[in-house]
Structure 1
Amino acid sequence: MAHPSPATESATPRLDVLPALDGLRAVAAGLVVLTHAAFLTGFGTSAGLPGHLLARGDFGVAIFFALSGFLLHRGLTAHAHGSGVDLLGYAARRFARIVPAYWVALAAVVIAADPGLRAWFLTGLGLHIYVPDVNIPSFGQSWSVATEVSFYIALPFVVLLLNRLRRRGAARPLVALVVLALITSLLPVFTGPAEFGVELLVERWLPWRAPHFLVGMIFAEALLVPDHPISRALSRLARDPVGCLALAGAAYLASTTPVAGSLTLEPAHGATLLMRTGLSTVVAACVLLPLTLGSPSWWSHVLSHPIVRWVGVVSFGLFLWHLPVFTALYAVSGAQFFRGGLAPLLAIGVPISLLLAFLSHQFVELPSSRLAARLTAHRRQRREGHHSDDREAKRPLEERSTE
């Protein structure tokens, strides 16, 4: 990585590789896997506090969103300061990173379950979260991919607006993001009585999930203005990983109580959704903060362990494949849903899901990402009129934690 000059260092995001973030992806994926296993077996609502803790593992999605907010905002802001992350390259990498693996997993589900052309088409385009009554049960987790893609589309425009603010003061984008996070966190108040249908879909749309992305963006922006009071306050918190994780744990525990609504698929609304969104945002922020604004600690060392990082590297495939695998195991075994069997479901389903995730990473995600990197590197070379090296195209995806 090229080190910024003293003149630009304070205005350029720190784009060093953060291996612990791969480990945090593993934590997020693990939570999602556990919550789906708890739901399918009925463990989440029948096993007291342990079940309730697993049932709220959907907070792993909030962690994924916060990671995306930090990494992608950091990368695009670096482009704005001339460090070489162009917008077309960003779009190509995002497409290559997400869409091929998503389509492969969806194709397998469609072949096995035959959900119908309408559901296949809308889910394939990520439009199913905007249309009621479109659901492929064994691919239900795909809603968050659609939400993530909507963030990918919105982010460049947000960065352009923030850069206009930056010309009037280096700290203005940070303040604007904090204000935006506070405003969007209040959106659940305007979500009326919920039924399975439009109201359930609304809470999956980007504006309602924006606080999760925005906390990551705030951390990335705080790196640019370390002397701002908000940045200093965040840095003080980040230097205490035990305190951060204790706060995350308290928020997570609170989310298992009625204050955050049902532990089933029953949609939340109003004050209940407000509490659930707020608590999930606190959890995501507190587990991410020490890794981005803090110093190396036991928390970052644990998440940087090679095994944990490996799970994080293949976490997108694990996220895509675990629910189809769980559903297939029920179909093959003849077992009934909601009748127990958490341990065997995890013991058999997780290794199979990890194997499929590894295959997806090796034969779908890596080749498509490398192709996108080569194409964007070639485009950059043609634009610059000389042959710069293409190390970015050759560098393995798992070594890149800047986007």
Structure 2
Amino acid sequence: MQAAPKVQLDFVDALRGIAIVGVLVSHAQRNVEIYQAMGREALLSPWLSRYAAQGARGVQLFFVVSALTLFLSAAKRSSETAPWLNFYLRRFFRIAPMFYLAFAVYCLAPALFKGHEFPPPGTVLATLSFTNGWNPAWLLGANDVVPGGWSIGVEMSFYIVFPFVFLALRDFPRALVALALLLAVDIAAWGPLLRHSPIPDVVLWQRFVFVWLPNQLPVFLFGICVYIVLFGQAGRLTSFFRDGDRFRNGCWFALAVAVLLVVPQWIDDLRAVFLYGAAFALMALCLYRQPYRWLVNAPLRYIGKISFSGYLTHFAMLQVARKVLAKLHADTHLTPDLYFLATVAVALAGTVVVSSLTYRFVEVPGQGLGKRLIRTLEARRASAAAVHTGSL
């Protein structure tokens, strides 16, 4: 496989921006319809409710993009003296600083200063060690530790197997076969797994079966296929999506959008997540060839750049939006649909502001710390190698 070329992938940040906006929209819908943000029972228009709820599939878009960028990064750094140690150090310092700050804000501070109940130690330890997706009992209280922490646990679990995946799936036929096999197994095993719950809480078991890594792994593989098509060798597919006809590229992009529009209205099955994964992969392929400016633009790219902070801070901003709208008596002046849209607007604005700060003062320094640690370790290895060579 060819090494990844040095390219500016603006569409990647744009896709991350779409992902975090989708996730925020889905949680705004839940705030109105489930958590009664208007102070009473309220329902959105059915079509709006279904589309808004499927914004949660932004998590799967994050997974597709993550697999693509991880392969790009691993290919670029494959010549390092300790590539996999460096990989894990980069990943840890990319995720942990902001995640642990979120733990302090959402869990530790309320328990210490507001008398909130502290989650069970096992759940806390599992969440902080990013293993909360390995046991249904840990998953149950994960959102009490860090809201949305389940998806970060899945992402970190993927990091564990990533070196094996990277080394095994170095060409398109292997990646395609692995994707097809995993899809077949996951789809076939879904029913039996749900019918034979090993725990009394059947609803929790269904949620666990959906979010655990084996069920989400095909979504990552869609992103790996995107990488191989764009930066490896996949025959005519590579030629088409790198340099192919713009009209046909637009038709494929329209197909991906059509899938995203049709699935929420026609299919009410959690296994439809794989259709979303395929649609997101096709969108990524098309946007590489033709980055439409109405989608790959500066605002979405910026939101995508700060999207990890945004994922962790938007929960708090939704509560801020709820308080702001209550002050304005929006619950009495607006319909549920308009209240939902107002919630999205206020929460998104707050998320951008706060996440810009946390990105600048938490994420960037955290990543810098990881880079310095890698340089220090590399210098020590070089020094030890020089001493060993001199003693021969």
SS in 1 for 2:8: coil
Which of structures 1 and 2 has the bigger CA Rg?
A: 2
Partner of 1:16: 7
Partner of 1:6: none
Partner of 2:212: 205
Moved more, 133-142 or 212-221: 133-142
Runs of 4+ in 1 over 6 A off after TM superposition: none
Tell me the CA shift for residue 291 of structure 1.
3.5
Equivalent in 350, 353, 358 of residue 351 of structure 2: 353
Partner of 1:122: 126
Tell me the CA shift for residue 352 of structure 1.
2.0
Tell whether the 8 Å contact from 2:253 to 2:286 is kept in structure 1 after alignment: no
- Rounded to whole Å, the distance in 2 between the matches of 1:324 and 1:283 is 30
- Rounded to whole Å, the distance in 2 between the matches of 1:223 and 1:331 is 46
Partner of 1:277: 273
SS in 1 for 2:6: coil
Tell me the CA shift for residue 78 of structure 1.
3.3
- Structure 1 residue 291 corresponds to structure 2 residue 296: no
Cα gap change, 1:287 to 1:229, in 2 (>3 Å): closer
Tell me the CA shift for residue 278 of structure 1.
2.5
Q: Deviations over 1:128-170 (max 9, x none)?
A: 33233324369442211111111111101222334xxx6xxxx
**Residue type matched to 2:69 in 1?**
L
- Structure 1 residue 56 corresponds to structure 2 residue 72: no
Gaps of 5+ in 1: 1-9, 167-172, 262-271, 387-403
**Residue type matched to 2:12 in 1?**
L
**Residue type matched to 2:263 in 1?**
S
- Rounded to whole Å, the distance in 2 between the matches of 1:235 and 1:360 is 36
Partner of 1:265: none
Equivalent in 291, 304, 315 of residue 312 of structure 1: 304
Gaps of 5+ in 2: 35-41, 196-201, 385-392
Partner of 1:185: 183
Partner of 1:93: 90
Tell whether the 8 Å contact from 2:228 to 2:234 is kept in structure 1 after alignment: no
TM-score, normalisation: structure 2: 0.79
Superposition map of 1:78-89 within 5 A: 78-80=76-78, 82=79, 86-89=83-86
**Residue type matched to 1:105 in 2?**
A
- Rounded to whole Å, the distance in 2 between the matches of 1:143 and 1:248 is 27
Tell whether the 8 Å contact from 1:238 to 1:290 is kept in structure 2 after alignment: no
- Structure 1 residue 131 corresponds to structure 2 residue 136: yes
Moved more, 50-59 or 123-132: 123-132
Tell whether the 8 Å contact from 1:191 to 1:199 is kept in structure 2 after alignment: no
Higher helix share: 2
SS in 2 for 1:70: helix
Percentage of identical aligned residues? 23
**Residue type matched to 2:128 in 1?**
G
Q: Deviations over 1:210-246 (max 9, x none)?
A: 1221111112223454362453465577954422331
- Rounded to whole Å, the distance in 1 between the matches of 2:245 and 2:62 is 19
- Rounded to whole Å, the distance in 2 between the matches of 1:348 and 1:52 is 21
Partner of 1:170: none
Tell whether the 8 Å contact from 1:15 to 1:74 is kept in structure 2 after alignment: no
